[in-house]
Amino acid sequence: MGKLERHATIADVAALAGVSVGTASKALNGRGSLREETRMRVREAARQLSFEVNAGARNLHSGRTYTVGMITTDTIGRFSIPVLMGAEDALGAGQMSVFLCDGRDDPIREQYHVKTLLSRRVDGIIVTGRRTQARAPISVGLPVVYAFISSTDPDDCSVVPDETGGARKAVEHLMAIGRTRIAHVTGPEHHHSARVRAQAVADRLAEAGLSVAGPPLFGAWSEIWGRQAVGMLLAGGTSFDAVFCGSDQIARGVADALRAVGRRVPEDVALVGFDNWDVMTRGCQPPLTSVDMNLEGLGRTAAEMLLAAINGTPSPGRHARPCHLVVRESSTVPLGPEARV
């Protein structure tokens, strides 16, 4: 570890190759017109010295650093990771490097990170977070794209999942397999996603002349809440042949509780979750149908829009990307008449 031999400079390369630095620079960057032999000689010298161009010094001229900052509003978590990865992937392909900054839900900390990024002369910034709720914009004189999370300023570029569309697809799927008494169990009412999805469920059912079986049940984003909710549904005497849940964790709790009281999934009750989190959908008995928000795609799109903005073609506004439904066994059996309770 750490034999700290000085990095070779282009002057070193030039000296070894017996040319001037200007020539060496041209040779290595494929600019100007040089004799092929000279070009090779310089390349060989660079190889010998394992020369890697000093990006910082180069950037001094171009004004650009081919670097972007990625800031998470809150802590890095299950939702931000895929977004980060998608973005990292798209940016890496465009030769950009990514500075990772964890905001930790602390505005001071975030502000500090923004300053640092500015000081490092990033070409743009991607802001993400673990909830879809809109947040106050960060104001810097640079291209900024919000991914998953969105900015309260409608002119800012935000790439978000179409949660309403996703919830509608879930309901439509359940109706398509013959379910008409669909309950909805979701997260806390103060949570943006919970409200949006619940509203979408109510709307879509209303369009079909139906209504939610029992009122939507707001609680927590946890398995425990899913289990409790089943108790409430049963105690309330609600008749239901399907449950659409606001998250996979909730759905999993619902599945466990239903099994515990002898209701079969999917025969008696079809079940659909939200997030398509493999750990949950596969661990669930039976495997869980779920809505996928395509977070990695969101990150990739955000990165592409940021690159475009950096190159002078911004895409202002809120861009909602479709969710898709992944059907598994928890909702595969059409409701036969014998299963009606």
Partner DNA sequence: GTGAAAGCGCTAACAC
Partner DNA sequence: GTGTTAGCGCTTTCAC
State the residues that interact with its own copies by CB under 8 A.
1-5, 7, 52-57, 59-60, 65, 67, 70, 75-77, 81, 84-85, 88-89, 92, 97-102, 113, 115-121, 124, 141-144, 155-157, 222-224, 249, 252-253, 256, 279, 282-283, 285, 309, 314, 316
> What amino acid is encoded at 341 in this protein?
V
> What amino acid is encoded at 313 in this protein?
T
Please report, for residues 59, 116, 176, 314, 332, the alpha-carbon distance to residue 145 in angstroms, rounded to integers and kept in the order given.
23, 18, 37, 10, 39
> What amino acid is encoded at 275 in this protein?
D
Q: Among its own copies, DNA, none, what binds residue 338 when CB lies within 5 to 8 Å by partner kind? A: none
- The span from the CA of 272 to the CA of 241, in Å, is 12
Q: Among its own copies, DNA, none, what binds residue 19 when CB lies within 5 to 8 Å by partner kind? A: DNA
| DSSP letter (8 states) at residue 217 | E
CB of 53 to DNA, least distance (A): 5
Neighbours of 179 (CB within 10 A): 24
Nearer to DNA, 63 or 312 (CB): 63
CB of 15 to DNA, least distance (A): 11
Nearer to DNA, 62 or 313 (CB): 62
Nearer to DNA, 9 or 315 (CB): 9
Nearer to DNA, 63 or 336 (CB): 63
Q: Among its own copies, DNA, none, what binds residue 251 when CB lies within 5 to 8 Å by partner kind? A: none
Q: Among DNA, its own copies, none, what binds residue 47 when CB lies within 5 to 8 Å by partner kind? A: none
Q: 3-class SS at 89?
A: helix
CB of 4 to its own copies, least distance (A): 6
- The span from the CA of 103 to the CA of 149, in Å, is 13
CB of 132 to its own copies, least distance (A): 20
- Strand duo 242-245 + 217-218: pairing: unpaired
CB of 294 to DNA, least distance (A): 38
Burial class (CB in 10 A: 0-12, 13-18, 19+), 238: middle
Region of 224 please: left (phi>0), alpha (psi -120 to 50) or beta.
alpha
Residues forming the site for DNA (CB under 7 A)? 6, 9-11, 18-23, 25-26, 28-29, 31-35, 37-38, 51, 53-54, 57-58, 60-63
CB of 101 to its own copies, least distance (A): 8
Q: Where does the chain show beta strands of DSSP type E? A: 67-72, 97-102, 124-128, 134-135, 144-147, 150-151, 157-161, 182-186, 217-218, 242-245, 270-274, 289-292, 317-321, 324-326
- The span from the CA of 335 to the CA of 18, in Å, is 82
Q: Among its own copies, DNA, none, what binds residue 85 when CB lies within 5 to 8 Å by partner kind? A: its own copies
CB of 222 to its own copies, least distance (A): 7
CB of 276 to DNA, least distance (A): 45
Neighbours of 2 (CB within 10 A): 4
Which residue in 52, 44, 40 sits closest to 5, CA to CA?
A: 52
Q: Among DNA, its own copies, none, what binds residue 9 when CB lies within 5 to 8 Å by partner kind? A: DNA
Q: Among DNA, its own copies, none, what binds residue 2 when CB lies within 5 to 8 Å by partner kind? A: its own copies
Q: Among its own copies, DNA, none, what binds residue 92 when CB lies within 5 to 8 Å by partner kind? A: its own copies
